[in-house]
Structure 1
Amino acid sequence: MTRTVHPPKLVPGDRVAVVSPSAGLPALFPRPYELGLHRLRTVFGLEPVEYPATRKMGATPGERADDLHAAFADPAVKAVFASIGGDDQITVLPLLDRELIRTHPKPFFGYSDNTNLHAFLWNTGVVSYHGGSVMVELGRPGAMAPLTAESLRAALFTTGPYEVKPAGFWTDKARDWADPATFEAEPETRRGSGWTWVNADRVVEGRSWGGCLEIIGRLLMADREVSHDPAVHDGGVLFLETSEDMPSSDEVFHTLRNMGERGLLQRFSALLMGRPKAWSFERPNSSEEGARYAAEQRAAVLRALKMYAPDTMAVFDVDLGHTDPQVILPYGGVIRVDGPARRIIVTY
């Protein structure tokens, strides 16, 4: 197994790269992007550095790889943030210089399509951080969600254990970034109902892996950045979440079934399942429809676990993905899932 490296932590005043390894959406929606840059400066005391493809829609995979190489190689840059996700980052992976990135490890923040880069970094031996995109979490209308800001600050500047807590209030609804009125107030939220635990009779502590379920499925299909030796995940903690594409319960089950048939799903001792995003502009579900979607997804996950990993401990509705607020998880770092105490503790 590749030796795991925790990149150095930041201090206020550090320069951080802002790149667009997937879609160059800062070019189309400058308002949330500029707000995210502003908060990097004013909330976290960091100085963002942009690159040629950061604000470029339609940048080639080569241009995006060049930006990543420049960001990781620059000794003055101490971390790398993705502006947002997209849908074709998998085409960038073959162009990346693994040795350059291995010898210049830096904290990388992003999620969704950035699961591709997280998986690449996992195989490179570099711990990264799932969550915290510039346009969404940092560019949130009104103010950053306190739970998000607290965990992002801890991931950036501190080492050691950090306890993840359920969100007291949350939302999965988005508003139109093209409308200036969107940014005049914080999103409306609803009261949270905590986590749901399954097989919570033990304590699991292991190295984490996972991310956006749809992207994991594509990596499996392309046979890219998923180890051919499932034993590397023995005793680990799998975390998964679904995007605004809102995959059907059948697709969720089929992806997990494929992981099971590959001998992968059953290697993990615990699964953290993100709260499903059950609303999109294309499918603006009512609360009742959203609850039904979430229930069907949970049933699909439990069905797959029953088939391949019936003893795995599972926690549902963890705020780790495309819903708001979002907790930052170490990707490749240690996560402790304490079933009897109903606690989740990550190590930043």
Structure 2
Amino acid sequence: MAVAPALGTGKSPQPPHLIKPPRLQPGDTVGLVTPASAPFNVHQTLIEAREKMHNLGFKTKVGKHVGEKWGFLAGSDMHRVEDLHAMFRDPEVKAIIAIRGGYGSARLLPLLDLELIRSHPKILVGYSDITALAVGIHRLTGLVTFHGPVAVSTFTDYTRKYFLETLGNPQPIGEIEDPPYERNLQTSNRVWTIRGGKARGRLIGGNLTLLTATLGTPYEIQTRGRILFIEEVGEEPYDVDRMLTQLAHAGKLQECAGIVFDRMPSVRPATFDPAFATNLSIEEVILDHVEKLGIPACFGLSLGHVKHKPTLPMGILAELDADKGRLALLEGAVV
């Protein structure tokens, strides 16, 4: 079994060639797993997850250990990675979808059977804590993984459209449209251009906390010449500042071709007992870090912990038009 390289080798693994997984077609079976935390109400959540996948046109197969719980984790590391491996190995399963995020996906990275994943490439989808698996697996195997909804996400028409098109269509998706707005006379995505211009590069990104946690490990995010997308939830602005500072110290921001930030609607000073009496807004924090980079960058796309979100493939060629606040996928992510 080929597992992830251990620390202390003095060498960073070379990026492997890109592997695109087979596309997801109507009637296919998707595997449901819990690589991070367990649902609080397991039975109701599982009913919801399966119902949503069935309504999208897919059959479901549930991991053997789904429903287990060990504190804040969905069972032991060995049981969670066993479910993941079983889904990659199962010929009936065409895509693997996390039921939810939470915490704990990064604990599985050293246990992954990389040769199994390379030899049985499949769609892997999730966001938030699942960023650890999406980035780590892409880094060490070259498999195109997907930042997208978990099984119990809100599948609006917009989310559903990009989930099905990105995972089911071998052709390029092209420019990602604005999500719909229903109130306050809002008719555009209201994206703030930090620095204008266009950039092309392979897409990489996810949740900021998890991206930062890869630094100094074999799963370290590679940003050179890439378009980096970042989302975060529930943190205060100083937390985001700390993580962006760490990425900058590691040279990761400076290497990017362009950067796209989610709207991060929940990133703000705490309502009760904030960390500091005076504060910076999330816009001020991002401007301070990004403006000096001299690369196309924008803030305000709908990418993370929001109900309308596209499915974004890691490693696929993309173009950012920061003046228009638009991101386009220039090649298909599946075969």
User: Structure 1-normalised TM-score?
Assistant: 0.81
RMSD: 2.7
Within the candidate set 30, 35, 41, 2:48 is matched to 35
Q: 2:94 aligns with which of 78, 83, 90?
A: 78
CA contact (8 A) 1:22 1:88 kept: yes
1:21 aligned partner: 35
Q: Could you say which residue in structure 1 is the equivalent of 2:260?
A: 272
Residues 317 and 30 of structure 1, relative CA distance in 2, 3 Å threshold: farther
Q: Given the superposition, is the C-alpha separation of residues 193 and 126 from structure 1 closer, same or farther in structure 2, using an over 3 Å criterion? A: closer
Residues 208-242 of structure 1: CA distance to partner in whole angstroms, max 9, x if unpaired? 1121011122222x635105xxxx53221001000
Which of residues 55, 72, 96 is equivalent to 2:67? 55
Residue type of the alignment partner of 2:224: D
Distance 1:224 1:190, change over 3 A: farther
Summarize the alignment of residues 238-249 of structure 1 with structure 2, pairs less than 5 Å apart: 238-243=228-233, 246-249=234-237
What code does the residue aligned with 1:149 have?
R
Identity of aligned residues (%): 26
1:250 is aligned to 238
4+ residue stretches of structure 1 with deviation over 4 A? 188-193
Which residue matches 1:200? 196
> Which SS does the other structure have where 2:327 is aligned?
strand
Counterpart-to-counterpart distance in 2, 1:151 and 1:33 = 23
CA pair 193-46 structure 1, distance change in 2 beyond 3 A: closer
CA deviation profile, 1:118-163 (whole Å, cap 9, x unmatched): 111211100011011011x2xx3xxx31110110111221122222
Structure 1 residues not aligned, in runs of 5+: 171-187
Q: Secondary structure at the match of 2:254?
A: helix
Q: Distance in 1 between matches of 2:235 and 2:77?
A: 26
**Alignment partner of 1:323: what SS?**
coil
Decide whether the 8 Å contact of 1:54 with 1:83 is kept in 2: no
- TM-score (normalizing by structure 2): 0.84
Of the structure 1 ranges 251-260 and 337-346, higher mean CA displacement relative to structure 2 is found in: 337-346
Q: Evaluate the alpha carbon distance shift between residue 29 and residue 116 of structure 1 in structure 2; reply closer, same or farther with a 3 A threshold.
A: same
Q: For the residues of structure 2 that align with 1:160 and 1:295, how far apart are their CA atoms?
A: 42
Partner of residue 132, structure 1 = 149
Extract unaligned runs of 5+ from structure 2: 1-14
CA positional deviation for 1:48: 0.9
Match of 1:318 in 2: 301
State the SS of the aligned residue for 1:85. Answer: coil
**Is the partner of 1:13 in helix, strand or coil?**
coil
User: Contact 1:33–1:134 at 8 Å: present in 2 too?
Assistant: no
Rate the CA distance shift 1:295–1:335 in 2: closer, same or farther, 3 A: farther
Change (3 A) 1:190 1:213: farther
State how far apart, in whole Å, the 2-side matches of 1:327 and 1:11 are: 18
SS in 2 for 1:149: helix
1:2 is aligned to: 16
Distance 1:190 1:35, change over 3 A: farther
Q: Secondary structure at the match of 1:301?
A: helix
The answer (yes or no) to whether the contact 2:235–2:266 under 8 Å persists in 1 is: no
Q: Distance in 2 between matches of 1:250 and 1:120?
A: 26
SS of 1:92's equivalent? helix
C-alpha distance in structure 2 between counterparts of 1:169 and 1:30, whole Å: 33
Rounded to whole Å, the distance in 2 between the matches of 1:9 and 1:276 is 30
Query: How far is 1:299 from its partner?
Result: 1.5
Residues paired across the two proteins, number: 306
What is the DSSP-based 3-state SS (H/G/I as helix, E as strand, rest coil) of the residue aligned with 2:313? strand
